[in-house]
Amino acid sequence: MTTERREPAYLYSERDAADRSEIARRFIETRKGLNTIVDAADNYLLKRFYNIDHNTYLEGAIPAKYKELMGLVVSAGLRCDDCINYHIIQSFRLGATRQEQEESLNVALVVGGSIVIPHLRRAYALLAELYPQSP
Amino acid sequence: MTTERREPAYLYSERDAADRSEIARRFIETRKGLNTIVDAADNYLLKRFYNIDHNTYLEGAIPAKYKELMGLVVSAGLRCDDCINYHIIQSFRLGATRQEQEESLNVALVVGGSIVIPHLRRAYALLAELYPQSP
Amino acid sequence: MTTERREPAYLYSERDAADRSEIARRFIETRKGLNTIVDAADNYLLKRFYNIDHNTYLEGAIPAKYKELMGLVVSAGLRCDDCINYHIIQSFRLGATRQEQEESLNVALVVGGSIVIPHLRRAYALLAELYPQSP
Amino acid sequence: MTTERREPAYLYSERDAADRSEIARRFIETRKGLNTIVDAADNYLLKRFYNIDHNTYLEGAIPAKYKELMGLVVSAGLRCDDCINYHIIQSFRLGATRQEQEESLNVALVVGGSIVIPHLRRAYALLAELYPQSP
Amino acid sequence: MTTERREPAYLYSERDAADRSEIARRFIETRKGLNTIVDAADNYLLKRFYNIDHNTYLEGAIPAKYKELMGLVVSAGLRCDDCINYHIIQSFRLGATRQEQEESLNVALVVGGSIVIPHLRRAYALLAELYPQSP
Amino acid sequence: MTTERREPAYLYSERDAADRSEIARRFIETRKGLNTIVDAADNYLLKRFYNIDHNTYLEGAIPAKYKELMGLVVSAGLRCDDCINYHIIQSFRLGATRQEQEESLNVALVVGGSIVIPHLRRAYALLAELYPQSP
């Protein structure tokens, strides 16, 4: 039973995120550079994995925004800075408020414990740039 | 900036979950027995941790249902069967559909990889009991 | 650049493993029972993930036997008993000797440390049943 | 610079722990049974690893009791029930009080988060049997 | 049953550590900068978590020095460089000798395996600066 | 039962790898610098661990090349960049083709999930430098 299949409607582009945040800009640029190298390898199974990965976060029974925030929670719980940056930016692009981002990070903190804190600090630095009006 | 504070309105009790599912019943009973032992210890910091844990999943900017599903995603990503059972039951009690539960587990699977699969199998056994009409 | 695509030629069936080892028999049976429940759910992305998973271990530039032993190493390193059982049985079916299985487990032990030992103990119990003539 | 080398003086034997606690008794017995199987394999590197493991917890600059409690903290942080049981019993044998065991578990809880809680519950069940007079 | 509550008596300040070690200085400074950003967010649950975290390492049945070394062991076992730096500095401030720090790292190494080694290398670089007279 | 004991015959030196790849060169240099600091400490148990670690990857029932690729798989599954770099370079030195390296990384990806991807990207950057003729 699966219906996840519609592309979400982004409120902001990656470029919008990069314009607001230097941390986002450098992350997006570095990832793009490395993805070019990965794409050149043209690895069949890797491309299929990327495709499943993409489909997992589409609009479905759960709105895409919450799926990206779920991705943020598990990324923080598993302590992957690049993944945290990615899902914060994706959630931002889908209209998540700063408060929603922080509540998601709180779930990761309580589940994953204080070893999550160094990642949380860096996540808050990105949030501060993406949401400059929020305290 | 935090507003998570209202107790969520459960559609079902733990008892309802236990009545539908033998897996749920045994999990709830075992946990209750062990919690009695933990409570007897009356450990101050442990009780404070439980309190933060409780507050993290309250209604806030993010609805409690999605927070419980987030708890499910990170629990599956970190491969904790008891935590998976707990959050599936909590999500069920807050009205999550089987499809929402499965989409959450898909996020955990793609993020956490095939080592999540043994836990997913057991999670699906619980889902099959809690949602008997769903395929 | 990927060529992994040929099904490996198994020397033994799952049934052969189950006939030799009670641990294998119970593992295979439990997994089959749970897989029936998972299959009934007919989750699209989960099925696609299973498909990539299957393709990853096919004959390729690296012989299937070594890929299964790699699966064993990473499963032991990540401490997943079901995954360890699965890859030990698969490696056995593809003709891996007991010595090859032990050398693989040694890589997992040195990389993953003493927390791997409880899983190693259970792995050795399975090996002792699958390879009764080996010391 | 290393001086860890003296065997610690145990206040209690494994038998004493087993006599006090059914959980301890079953754990010790199961481990002994599996170790017999592992020993039969006579794997050279595994035996060397066991030897380093043994030496790591000897009396040194840090008293053996605190080393065992450290082993408990990291075992709980990495969520390994067998390792938790082992180090609780070892710490008990070296005279650790229940309070010292609980404070160690608190470090694991705050560092490792709520996913540690299911393991903590089982740890408290063992503590309750080993220290029956302590609340 | 919990008595952890007294603030420990530090032999050295963070400033002392920073004066001895360039690695410590940069770590402390970066953390301070990020903490300012986190503090500005004024997240209620995060602040409560920080408070429990602080209380966990106070003097209690276990001396604060050993609790910080426990924090070091579990941080190394969970492979968190920032946490390792933090607990090495805290242990140093509470009078831990270099030998005690190394014995703690040995517990983490044997429990966590060779994947801990890259973190150990960086930890030894910090130790070499904090304890210049020790070989 | 263990026969791992012969030193493998390397096709390339570390210097060859460093000459081909700037990423390899910087990794090897940094590691050498830190190892000098670790060696100066002359920690007995650490040296013994290094010795077991060395012996684990020697020629045995499993060829050294496949053991290094196993080390790569578990390092990627456990998400340790330094370990990934190390085992890619070792596998390269033992004659592993790019395709064998990619198939190994595919095992790690499917077992470990999308959180492995950031490490895979960096691994592919190293592969692109070590194997310039391969696409």
pLDDT (tens digit per residue) in F65-96: 999 999 999 999 999 999 999 999 999 999 99
So what's the pLDDT on residue C79? 97
Residue type, A61: A
How much is the CA Rg of chain C, to the nearest whole Å?
15
Average pLDDT over residues D32-49: 97
* Of A28, A117, A35, the residue nearest A79 (C-alpha): A117
Amino acid, res. E32: K
Report the residue of B78, B117, B127 to disrupt the C interface, i.e. the one with the largest count of C CBs within 10 Å.
B117
Q: Are F62 and C103 within 8 A, CB to CB? A: yes
Phi, psi of B59 (to 5 degrees): -55, 140
Mean pLDDT score, C41-70: 97
Q: Which residues in chain A have their CB less than 8 angstroms from residue E81's CB?
A: 118
Nearest to C77 among F61, F74, F110 (CB): F74
Cβ <8 Å between F1 and D43? yes
3-state secondary structure of B34: helix
Q: Which of D48, D55, D59, D62 is best to mutate for the F interface (most F CBs within 10 A)?
A: D48
CB contact under 8 A, A109 and D112: no
Any C CB within 8 A of F104 CB: yes
DSSP annotation string for C32-100? HHHHHHHHHH--HHHHHHHHHHHHHTSBSSS-HHHHHHHHHHHHHHTT-HHHHHHHHHHHHHTT--HHH
F9, F60 Cβ separation under 8 angstroms: no
Which pLDDT score is estimated for B5?
A: 75
Give the residue on B whose Cα is nearest the Cα of D112: B78
Amino acid at B61: A
Q: From CA E103, how far away is CA C50, in angstroms rounded?
A: 44
Distance CA D66, CA D59 (A): 9
3-state SS, residue D38: helix
How many CB pairs lie under 8 A apart between chains A and B?
106
The pLDDT > 90 percentage for chain E reads 94
Among B73, B114, B117, B120, most F C-beta atoms within 10 A, so best to mutate, is B114
For residues D88 and C85, give the distance between their C-alpha atoms in angstroms, rounded to a whole number. 28
Q: How confident is the model at residue A5 (pLDDT cuts 50, 70, 90)?
A: confident
Mean confidence (pLDDT) of chain D: 95
The mean pLDDT value for C3-8 works out to: 78
Q: What's the whole-number average pLDDT of chain F? A: 95
F107 touches chain C (CB under 8 A): yes
Classify E96 as helix, strand or coil. Answer: coil
Residues of D in contact with F44 (CB under 8 A): 2, 4
Residue E100 burial class via C-beta count within 10 angstroms: exposed 0-12, middle 13-18, buried 19 and up: buried
Of the candidates F77, F111, F115, which has its C-beta nearest B111's C-beta?
A: F115
Report whether E52 contacts D110 (CB < 8 A). yes
| Closest residue to E52, CB basis, from B42, B45, B56 | B45
Strand partners, C59: C6
**Residue B135 binned pLDDT confidence (cut-offs 50, 70, 90):** low
F99/chain C closest Cα distance in angstroms: 6
CB distance F16 to F93 below 8 Å = yes
CB of D76 within 8 A of CB of D113?
no
Residue of C nearest to E77 (CA): C113
- The residue in chain C having the minimum alpha-carbon distance to the alpha carbon of residue A54 is C45
Which tens digit of pLDDT belongs to each residue from E56-100? 999 999 999 999 999 999 999 999 999 999 999 999 999 999 999
Query: Is the Cβ of B46 closer than 8 Å to some Cβ of chain A?
Result: no
Rg over alpha carbons for chain E, rounded to the nearest Å, is: 15
Structural tokens at position E39 = 């503090």
- Evaluate whether F17 touches F28 at the Cβ level (below 8 Å): yes
CB pairs under 8 A between B and E: 34
In this structure, which amino acid lies at residue C95? G
Alpha helices, H only, chain E = 14-20, 22-41, 44-56, 64-77, 81-93, 98-112, 117-130
Residue A123: which of A78, A71, A86, A97 has the closest Cα?
A86
What is the C-alpha separation between D18 and A52, in angstroms, rounded? Answer: 50
What are the φ and ψ backbone dihedral angles of C69, each rounded to 5 degrees? -65, -35
Interface test with A, best of E34, E48, E50, E73 (most A CBs within 10 A): E34
E-chain residues near B42 (CB < 8 A): 1-2
Q: Rounded distance, CA D122 to CA B90, Å?
A: 22
Residue C2 has pLDDT above 60, yes or no: no
Any idea what DSSP says for residue E59?
Answer: B
What's residue F133's pLDDT? 85
Instruction: Note the pLDDT of residue A13.
Output: 98
Nearest residue in chain D measured CA to CA from A112 = D113
Ranges of residues in chain F whose predicted pLDDT is under 50: none
The pTM for the full model equals 0.96
User: Rounded to an integer, what distance in angstroms lies between the CA atom of residue B47 and that of residue B30?
Assistant: 19
Packing angle of the helix pair D117-130, B22-41 (nearest 10 deg): 60
- Chain A residues in contact with D116 by the CB 8 A cut-off are 113
The CA distances from residue F32 to E1, E118, F25, F36, F86, in Å, are: 49, 12, 11, 6, 12
Cα(F112)–Cα(C78) distance, integer angstroms: 9
